[in-house]
Structure 1
Amino acid sequence: MEAWEAAYGTGRAQAARTREAFAYCRRVLVAAEGLEFYLASALLPARKRPFTWALYGFARYTDEIVDTTRYTRQHRAARFEAWTGAVDDALRSGDSSHPVLHALMRTLERWDIPVCHVREYLASQEMDLRVTEYATYADLRVFIERASLSFGRQMLPVLEPLDRVLAGRGGDAMSEAMQLTNIVRDVREDCGLGRVYLPQEDLSAFGVSHRDLSGTRVTPQMRAVVRKQVGRARELLVVAELQEAALPPSSRPAVRAVHSIYRGLLGKVEMRDFDVFTSRVRLGAVRKAAIGSSALAERFAGRFAGRRTAAVAAAA
């Protein structure tokens, strides 16, 4: 019996339903190219993993409704409205027949996660349907807080922080750094959806137009705009390292792996002289394996040290 099954004391049929709901979220995560996040979640203790799948699965499932290119903007808005209604119903009743929402409800319940963070994430996706550009970085931060910081704040209780204030500050910085990195990686894809997340004040300062971003020629000015965002993300990553010390040993390898992944992505952008326009920046399989192996070794070393400490205490 899984730890979450024992915690709920549910019947066999209900436990099977919940198990399948978490597995469904895991499939959503992997299908949405969330392999890096899935590998990081595998570094958490087994009792925490399904809940991370549920949170990320909900975020990705919602994001796919808004970002898909298969439907018109009007159709996406209608689908999002229906999905928002289903989420509201689930939050009111505490359950849903939809596997993603069933898993989400069990996660909110188990970790006492404030529903305001879920609503903030939905608000960010609603912004994506109607806002196509941001005048200043301060304006962009409103979106980032709703989209990325709200997700990080949902994750925080699952990580069981030793110091919630310090972990929260570091987690917010990491969430913002991740969002900025993804904005940089997806410039061309977002242009295809009619969105420009790079602040207009930065584009104007370097003399870059929307037409430049969707063109085929990469100019020094375009590279300079990207360099500015990478610099912001690098500064945020320094603050994010505060989070590691505020987490228990069981959560540190997974968080450290995410930090390493995003530092690696920013490094790839820098190695390409800030050209994110000709192809999407990705980490290679070898680099991912190295990050995963390092974090896995840290996790097992921590478990061994914990058992040794317990054994010494018992023998004393």
Structure 2
Amino acid sequence: MNKAEKIYRYTDGMEESKQVVKANSTTFYYAFSKLPDYRANSIFVLYHFLRQLDDFADHHKAAKFNAMVDVWYSIKANSPETQLGRNLWNVFDVFNLPFYDMNQMIAGQKADLYGAKIQDINDLNRYCYQVAGTVGQLIMPILTDYDVSKIYENINHIGIAMQITNIIRDVKEDALSGRVYLPTKLMEVFHVKKEDLLKEHTDKNLKALLKYLADYANDLYKDKKVVLNFIDNRNAKVSISLAIDGYHKILTNIEKRDYDVLDSRVYVNKASKLMLYLKNSIFQ
């Protein structure tokens, strides 16, 4: 029995995960919905589980978060009791995904739940790896039959870049929730205070700090080509390229607005998403 046949045994039970992705992340759904069903459904199940972890951590729902962690423990013990747990167990089993990356993801979400302390760029890298780099390292074995362990660092760089993009875009939204992901030492260097994150408009000091992080992220996005070269399926290559470009486009739009992110949320509109899809479909 091949990978597709093993996953197809649970296709019906995976429909809920597909709908969760479609409702909560159009960029993510748009990128991966074109894959063969067994790959797409596996990624949607993974996203569904990670989304719940993230939501419960973001909204300080410790009991529900810990319940999801218990589901993960049951998966590691080969005894999942929920439908989502059984689906995720199947995905980890079929694609031989490493438990380590999910353990690190959970550690990053716990930092969110109990208050992430990011002092410097090293702390930022570690946090971004835990909540985003791990996602790439879990998704890549689903997308390709190649051994991706050789490019874990490159995959991690892309994840860090995407998470930094989120941090820049959501700096005010996070501050309103009592969270600051900008490294404390960088805030000191650029003379940025917490109250500056809640203003109506972005002042020049905060813009300078955000530009510094954007330049750092742009450099990491360059690893995209290395990652794409390890994907053997063209549709999968288009999907991951579209996902990366969707986030990179958000950062580009922020740069075009001169880093004024406090007055409104920056996003990628449907026309831009279509252009990204056409570009990737033609040139990959």
Q: Same fold (TM over 0.5)?
A: yes
**Amino acid of the residue matched to residue 184 of structure 2?**
Q
State the shift of 1:298 in Å.
Answer: 5.4
The residue number in structure 2 matching 1:303 is none
Task: Select which of 23, 26, 36 maps to 2:15.
Answer: 23
Greater Cα offset, 120-129 or 42-51: 42-51
**Amino acid of the residue matched to residue 42 of structure 1?**
S
The residue number in structure 1 matching 2:6 is 7
State the shift of 1:104 in Å.
Answer: 1.1
Contact 2:172 / 2:198 at 8 angstroms: preserved in 1?
yes
The residue number in structure 1 matching 2:68 is 83
The residue number in structure 1 matching 2:262 is 277
**Amino acid of the residue matched to residue 39 of structure 1?**
Y
Give, in whole Å, the separation in 1 of the partners of 2:68 and 2:241. 33
Give, in whole Å, the separation in 2 of the partners of 1:175 and 1:127. 17
Distance 1:36 1:141, change over 3 A: same
Task: Select which of 285, 291, 307 maps to 2:276.
Answer: 291
The residue number in structure 2 matching 1:175 is 159
Give, in whole Å, the separation in 1 of the partners of 2:145 and 2:190. 41
1:63 correspondence with 2:76? no
Give, in whole Å, the separation in 2 of the partners of 1:249 and 1:212. 46
Give, in whole Å, the separation in 2 of the partners of 1:266 and 1:203. 20
**Amino acid of the residue matched to residue 27 of structure 1?**
Q
Task: Select which of 23, 39, 42 maps to 1:48.
Answer: 39
Q: CA RMSD for the aligned pairs?
A: 2.0
User: Identity percentage over the alignment?
Assistant: 23
**Amino acid of the residue matched to residue 162 of structure 2?**
M
Contact 1:52 / 1:155 at 8 angstroms: preserved in 2?
yes
**Amino acid of the residue matched to residue 6 of structure 1?**
E
Distance 1:46 1:290, change over 3 A: same
**Amino acid of the residue matched to residue 267 of structure 2?**
R
| Unmatched 5+ stretches in structure 2 | none
Greater Cα offset, 34-43 or 154-163: 154-163
1:41-81: per-residue Cα shift (whole Å, max 9, x none)? 0232333111111111111121111113xxxx4xx122212
Contact 2:119 / 2:185 at 8 angstroms: preserved in 1?
yes
Contact 1:28 / 1:61 at 8 angstroms: preserved in 2?
no
Aligned residue pairs, count: 282
Distance 1:182 1:220, change over 3 A: same
Contact 1:223 / 1:273 at 8 angstroms: preserved in 2?
yes
The residue number in structure 2 matching 1:124 is 108
State the shift of 1:20 in Å.
Answer: 3.4
Structure with bigger gyration radius: 1
Distance 1:110 1:163, change over 3 A: closer
Distance 1:161 1:210, change over 3 A: farther
The residue number in structure 2 matching 1:184 is 168
State the shift of 1:4 in Å.
Answer: 5.7
* 1:75-224 to 2 correspondences below 5 Å: 76-97=61-82, 99-160=83-144, 162=146, 164-224=148-208
TM-score between both structures, scaled by the size of structure 1: 0.83
Contact 1:163 / 1:247 at 8 angstroms: preserved in 2?
no
| Unmatched 5+ stretches in structure 1 | 300-316
